[in-house]
Structure 1
Amino acid sequence: MQKYELDTPCIVVDQDKLKANIARVQRLADEAGIALRPHAKTHKTPQIARMQLKAGAVGITVAKLGEAEAMADGGIGPILIAYPIVGKTKLERLMRLAARAEVTVAVDSLEAAAGISDAAVNAGIVMPVWIEVDPGYGRAGVQPGEALLRLGRELRTLAGIRVTGVLVFAGQSYDEDSDEGRILVAEREAATALASAEALRGLGFPIESVSAGSTPVSRFASAMKGATEMRPGTYVFGDLTQVKAKAMNVGECALTVLVTVVSRPAPDRAVIDAGTKVFTSDGEDSPIGTGRGYVIGHPGIEVAWFNEEHGVLRLPPEERELKIGDKLEIVPVHCCAVVNMLDVMHMVQGDEVKDVLPIAGRGRVK
């Protein structure tokens, strides 16, 4: 089958670009002498995680327990859950998962760590945990310095966990407008992680892993002095957010959404069969002036706005021959959000559909 025969809207992934992206970032990590533990929240697909592991990744990262279960079901591991696990139901699931897969969990509070410890003691295991430290992004993570030391002292009393690493996420890298700024974020992120690791080692913890990094700073892995690994995710597919961050160019983006023109209500307007229920409303407009997406082969078209089921395109004079039934490929603003909206992705080589992969982690947000 040819890709333009696919029913729309659907996700299309260019296999050659996907493989090139995986190889490129693995090479960046190798050249910097640090490990790569990519974040699978982007693709949510065990088959792609397996490609990353085969290329040299030391394991994968996930955000939610449901994603970890989907990856373990697909035979993928080791798995880092970079998210606090809280609540009886989730702790019971975590113990079942730990019985069949190699799992590490991030914590940033005594409450979360104590829950994991109690569940692990009851299950007769010791759970490896990493402490998440906030490097200035202002999301999750214990504050470095005295707050971290206080948490470390509290965790020493918990019999069901073993603290073996620290992780940080400097999401502020997305706000930088220059490579100089991104390099500075990478340096400071790694410095925070390293200082935190040394502080925890001073408390007697056997800190082995110092984990940092995201796709916007992956080009600067060599600047992450003291980090033992990085955890980028979006690099596998790419999107307009990463184009804005100069992590890749539009031609390297492997994931597109194939859509059909379903209405031509005005000469300068076309409507496609995908809105926020496919593209989502996440992220900012295209950095190259094309609105909520980039139409491949039609740089003059603006993806102007979305409703739930409709996408509205503004057409310059040279694009007004566009007809109802025409199909277009659009690079989204944020590919991770798009992947979570659909059940499968179509792997293509050139225009030929090679495979259809279920998105095993789609909707696994618990």
Structure 2
Amino acid sequence: MNSPTYDTPCIMIDLDKVERNIRHMQQIADDHGIGLRPHAKTHKMPEVARMQIAAGAIGVTVAKLGEAEVLAKAGISDILIAYPVIGRDKIKRLAALLTMTHITAAVESIEGVEAVAEAGRLAEVPVDVLIEIDSGFGRVGLNPGEDVIRLAGVIASHPWLRLKGLLTFAGQSYDVPDPEAIRRTAEREVGTSARMAEQLREAGYPVTVVSVGSTPSSSFAAAIPGANELRPGTYVFGDLMQVKLGAHELERCALTVRATVISRPAPDRAVIDAGTKVFSSDGEDSPLGTGRGYVPGRPGITLEWLTEEHGMLKLAPEEQGLAIGDILDFIPVHCCAVVNLTDRVAVTRDGQFESFWNVSARGKVR
């Protein structure tokens, strides 16, 4: 690295790979004539959101109002809040956001509808809304059927709301064993949403948006008629979880944790300066058998276990020459959780340091 202020542990972002990942997903969307609205909870950085939009994304998705506030202040002009807005303070914040940028809000309850409508009234700005339905994940969202049609009627009664369509998330795609099972999950996700959209149209609600897609399911969902918007997030960086699912390749993983060996207490054991406060404890171990991370090209290094500040390595015989002070780069299990644990990332191009980017929406969980 050629930065005088560089230190470990640090999150590294390879911009060449990021750009390739963005182009790859955008091409999938373009090839099937479907809008791409990436989920910014993965990267939490306006710089990456701008790259995605410049490549052809129609806007971005966020989970929380705090993420939307950061991106709106950075000039992102079309944001979907794919999370219920509940609570007086959040109504006021949503009203402020409506005066800054175009917001679409997901709703799945009368209480949520009333909250968004009140924000629209306060801002004197009509709010586009999507009804969230459950396509099998069992998290939030209405079961398809009459409850959805009734909620559409409530939305239609509010002068500050405009029903645009439906949203769903097939999170169960993370729990299936192979790409064929992911494809079947995507078929259910799109099919359930398309049928519900048609029922709404038959009931007199001219919905135009059917929004679906996680990173594992998006490449399949894009090719299935019935949806017109995709919301993948993790694809922009990739991680071992996506590699396990067959949704990403190791060679395209753009985010790594750079750490320093700080101890060599035994020939087959080393310790690095990054633990759960850097890697997080989310997700299952590496599908490559290397524990909580993978050092590219070095399968003899296993990130066996973590405490808050330490990462314990188990070393195969060919790796026992590792010394205190050596630097290692690890592909983590779950990149979204890693990004949210750091204030800034080091971005590189052609293997050379370019700059530090602040993770501006880091910790924005409200």
Q: Please report the TM-score for the alignment, with normalisation by the length of structure 2.
A: 0.97
Q: Does structure 2 conserve the Cα–Cα contact (< 8 Å) formed by 1:62 and 1:81?
A: yes
Amino acid corresponding to residue 55 of structure 1 in structure 2: A
Aligned to 1:352: 352
Q: What are the within-5 Å matches in structure 2 for residues 1-366 of structure 1?
A: 1-2=1-2, 6-366=6-366
Task: Determine the C-alpha separation between the residues in 2 that align with 1:54 and 1:123.
Answer: 29
Amino acid corresponding to residue 236 of structure 1 in structure 2: V
Structure 2: 5+ residue runs without aligned partners?
Answer: none
Task: Determine the C-alpha separation between the residues in 2 that align with 1:219 and 1:164.
Answer: 24
Please state how far the C-alpha of 1:104 moved relative to its aligned partner. 0.6
Task: Determine the C-alpha separation between the residues in 1 that align with 2:221 and 2:4.
Answer: 38
Please state how far the C-alpha of 1:125 moved relative to its aligned partner. 2.2
- SS of residue in 2 equivalent to 1:238: coil
Amino acid corresponding to residue 138 of structure 1 in structure 2: G
- SS of residue in 2 equivalent to 1:195: helix
Q: Does structure 1 conserve the Cα–Cα contact (< 8 Å) formed by 2:99 and 2:123?
A: no
Please state how far the C-alpha of 1:219 moved relative to its aligned partner. 2.4
- SS of residue in 2 equivalent to 1:91: helix
Task: Determine the C-alpha separation between the residues in 2 that align with 1:183 and 1:3.
Answer: 44
**What fraction of aligned residue pairs are identical, expressed as a percent?**
54
CA RMSD of aligned residues (A): 1.4
Q: Does structure 1 conserve the Cα–Cα contact (< 8 Å) formed by 2:167 and 2:212?
A: yes
- SS of residue in 1 equivalent to 2:338: helix
Q: Does structure 2 conserve the Cα–Cα contact (< 8 Å) formed by 1:187 and 1:223?
A: no
Q: Does structure 2 conserve the Cα–Cα contact (< 8 Å) formed by 1:234 and 1:336?
A: yes
Amino acid corresponding to residue 314 of structure 2 in structure 1: R
Number of paired residues? 366
Q: Does structure 2 conserve the Cα–Cα contact (< 8 Å) formed by 1:129 and 1:164?
A: yes
Task: Determine the C-alpha separation between the residues in 1 that align with 2:321 and 2:192.
Answer: 55
Q: Does structure 1 conserve the Cα–Cα contact (< 8 Å) formed by 2:134 and 2:142?
A: yes
Give deviations 1:331-350, integer Å, cap 9, x for gaps: 00000000000011111123
Q: Does structure 2 conserve the Cα–Cα contact (< 8 Å) formed by 1:38 and 1:59?
A: yes
- SS of residue in 1 equivalent to 2:120: helix
Using a 3 Å threshold, how does the CA distance of structure 1 residues 135 and 3 change in structure 2: closer, same or farther? farther
Moved more, 272-281 or 222-231: 222-231
Give deviations 1:278-311, integer Å, cap 9, x for gaps: 1110001111111111012311111101101010
- SS of residue in 2 equivalent to 1:70: helix
Q: Does structure 1 conserve the Cα–Cα contact (< 8 Å) formed by 2:215 and 2:233?
A: yes
Q: Does structure 1 conserve the Cα–Cα contact (< 8 Å) formed by 2:65 and 2:81?
A: yes
Task: Determine the C-alpha separation between the residues in 2 that align with 1:167 and 1:224.
Answer: 16
Please state how far the C-alpha of 1:160 moved relative to its aligned partner. 2.2
Give deviations 1:21-66, integer Å, cap 9, x for gaps: 0000100111111111000100000111101001110000000000
Structure 1: 5+ residue runs without aligned partners?
Answer: none
Task: Determine the C-alpha separation between the residues in 2 that align with 1:190 and 1:221.
Answer: 6
- SS of residue in 2 equivalent to 1:347: strand
Task: Determine the C-alpha separation between the residues in 1 that align with 2:225 and 2:12.
Answer: 37
Amino acid corresponding to residue 184 of structure 1 in structure 2: R
Task: Determine the C-alpha separation between the residues in 1 that align with 2:313 and 2:216.
Answer: 29
Q: Please report the TM-score for the alignment, with normalisation by the length of structure 1.
A: 0.97
Task: Determine the C-alpha separation between the residues in 2 that align with 1:291 and 1:279.
Answer: 12
Task: Determine the C-alpha separation between the residues in 2 that align with 1:262 and 1:4.
Answer: 20
Give deviations 1:184-208, integer Å, cap 9, x for gaps: 1111100111112122223332311
Q: Does structure 1 conserve the Cα–Cα contact (< 8 Å) formed by 2:37 and 2:232?
A: yes
Task: Determine the C-alpha separation between the residues in 2 that align with 1:24 and 1:119.
Answer: 37
